[in-house]
């Protein structure tokens, strides 16, 4: 499912049209986020609007040893070079900032010089073995819009650097990630360089692994659970669906109309 910012709802006929929503947004009637968070008992505990995270924990000794052998700073696997949130421009600035520390962002895919599909086990091994950080950069800024870009990091031995419109406290434990939108490329480069020098500081980013695991969501279960909920028996109407889906839809739809007219 594409983000609200990429696919705005502009026609007014959709206001007061839907009774039920089933989207990636966590306030949907049927929540269909891309990722699923489980505790050590295998119970699904998130993502959700209010998460009660367990903070702290020991890092597995085998993992700690693997982390010590990393040699490369940042990896970015990307296929779409165009985006509304100008993520590529941010990466270019980060690349220049990292060069002052003799570090790099290695770009794999259509937008870079390196080729290695993540579905290939060898590429997964490279990510786990070599890289400290992974750019989990979404292609747009939308509420709760989190995709496989984050899941990739959480299923490997890398720290995600996020860049999106979500409130990441709903998706990630405290101290498990860096948020590029909270800092400048120069400041982020300095943080990366500092963490690469300290195994102790860096390994703390993985303490969550003793409490949680991440996987792709099973939407069939979400639909079944929602349809059997008592709340679904009450009539509901989305009088302002367009605004719910994208709060600044009016301006976004004007932009889209201008784009179509230009073409």
Q: Give per-residue pLDDT as tens, 85-116.
A: 999 999 999 999 999 999 999 999 988 989 88
- Say if residue 113 is preceded by a cis peptide, omega within 30 of 0: no
- How much is the pTM? 0.92
Tell me the C-alpha distance between 60 and 83, whole Å. Answer: 38
For the cut 80, the answer to whether the pLDDT of residue 231 exceeds it is no
d(CA 47, CA 168): 10
What is the chain's percent helix, strand, coil content, to nearest 5?
40, 15, 45
Between 46-50, 57-61, 185-189, the lowest mean confidence (pLDDT) is in: 57-61
**In whole numbers, what is the pLDDT of the chain averaged over residues?**
93
CATH 3.20.20.70 fits 35-216, yes or no: no
For the chain, give every domain's residue range. Answer: 12-34+218-262, 35-216
Give the SS3 label for residue 170: helix
Termini Cα distance of the chain: 25
pLDDT tens per residue, range 169-194: 999 999 999 999 999 999 999 999 99
- pLDDT cut 90: percent of the chain above it: 79
Residue 261: band (very low, low, confident or very high) from pLDDT cuts 50, 70, 90: very low
pLDDT at 257: 64
Handedness of CA 78, 80, 83, 88 (dihedral sign): positive
Q: H-helix or E-strand containing 109? A: strand 105-109
- Decide which of 251 and 255 is more confident: 251
Calpha distance 37→17 (Å, rounded): 32
Between residues 76 and 236, which one has the greater pLDDT?
Answer: 76
- The number of residues in the chain equals 263
Residue corresponding to tokens 């709903």: 170
Helix (H, G, I), strand (E, B) or coil at 221: helix
């Amino acid at each position: 499912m594409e983000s609200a910012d990429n696919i705005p709802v502009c026609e007014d006929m959709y206001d007061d049209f839907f009774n039920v929503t089933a989207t990636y947004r966590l306030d949907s009637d049927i929540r269909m986020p891309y990722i699923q968070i489980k505790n050590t008992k295998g119970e699904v505990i998130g993502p959700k609007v209010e998460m009660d995270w367990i903070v702290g924990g020991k890092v597995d000794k085998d993992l700690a040893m693997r982390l010590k052998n990393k040699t490369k700073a940042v990896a970015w696997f990307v296929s779409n070079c165009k985006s509304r949130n100008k993520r590529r421009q941010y990466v270019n600035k980060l690349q220049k900032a990292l060069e002052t520390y003799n570090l790099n962002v290695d770009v794999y895919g259509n937008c870079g010089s390196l080729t290695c599909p993540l579905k290939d086990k060898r590429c997964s091994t490279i990510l786990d073995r070599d890289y400290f950080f992974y750019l989990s950069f979404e292609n747009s800024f939308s509420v709760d819009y989190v995709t496989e870009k984050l899941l990739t990091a959480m299923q490997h031995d890398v720290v995600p650097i996020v860049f999106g419109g979500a409130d990441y406290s709903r998706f990630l434990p405290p101290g498990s990630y860096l948020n590029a939108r909270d800092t400048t490329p120069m400041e982020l480069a300095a943080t990366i360089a500092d963490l690469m020098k300290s195994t102790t500081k860096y390994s703390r980013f993985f303490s969550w692994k003793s409490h949680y695991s991440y996987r792709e969501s099973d939407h069939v279960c979400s639909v079944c659970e929602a349809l059997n909920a008592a709340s679904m028996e009450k009539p509901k109407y989305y009088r302002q669906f367009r605004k719910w889906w994208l709060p600044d839809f009016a301006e976004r739809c004007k932009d889209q109309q201008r784009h179509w007219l230009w073409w």
